[in-house]
Amino acid sequence: MFEEIVKCEPLSCLRDSVKEIEHLLSQPMTETDYSEIMTSTLGCYFEPSSEHTHYSDWLSKMAIYFTSQQ
């Protein structure tokens, strides 16, 4: 999934995404809070439990992957 995002988005968007993800992860939020933000605010309906992980872990992996592609 991350590979497809990297293929479609410019580097500036990936950099901005990493900053936003890092900001989200720095906030004291529950998995329910992350779920609300992902679905209601961002329109992302990915369910991390389908990959045996949590939103916070998934977001962290996304930020690491995006950073590694720059």
What pLDDT is recorded for position 45? 87
Residues recorded for the chain = 70
> Taking the complete model, does pTM exceed 0.95, yes or no?
no
What pLDDT is recorded for position 53? 94
Cβ–Cβ < 8 Å for 24, 62: no
What pLDDT is recorded for position 1? 77
In the chain, domain spans: 14-68
- Token output for 57: 């872990």
- Give the separation between CA 12 and CA 22, rounded to whole angstroms: 15
Work out the average pLDDT over 35-53: 91
What are the C-alpha distances in Å from 66 to residues 2, 32, 36, 46?
A: 8, 24, 23, 18
Whether pLDDT at 31 is above 80: yes
Work out the average pLDDT over 38-50: 90
Whether pLDDT at 65 is above 80: yes
